[in-house]
Amino acid sequence: MRIECHSVVGFLNNLKNFEDGTIFRNRIYVEKTEIIESGNQRTAVYKKDIMLYISALMVFNDDRGEALLECGLFCGIDDLTSGGELEGSSKRENYIQAVDDFCSECTFEWDGKVSHPKICEGVLRP
């Protein structure tokens, strides 16, 4: 099963309300992506689209198996010209901080141990 969220709040609410299972390896995966909007790699880059992908594999205690919980977000645009703002990167870091705050507040059991989830950079593939 796959659960797709459209906000970090929705992603975290799914984890907060998940009482009949655990998170695989007690990990939440985060991938940061930047796509050049104007300019190019060889010369100057002027603007970049900033994106974030968050995922976790929810493992149910009963015979329902697993569910991939995921959230992909467009965070904004970084303007790299002089005087430009890094709006997208700033918003992305705020989202990651919200996930980190959640990790420090909750615990899940994995492999017989109860601990706080950890954030890992990369992508969890089904």
Question: One digit per residue, pLDDT tens: the chain, 126 residues?
Answer: 899 999 999 999 999 988 888 999 999 999 999 888 776 656 666 788 999 999 999 999 888 889 999 999 999 999 877 777 889 999 999 999 999 999 999 888 888 888 888 888 876 654
Query: For position 107, what pLDDT does the model report?
Result: 87
Q: Please state the pTM of the whole predicted model.
A: 0.84
Q: State how far Cα 27 lies from the chain centre.
A: 11
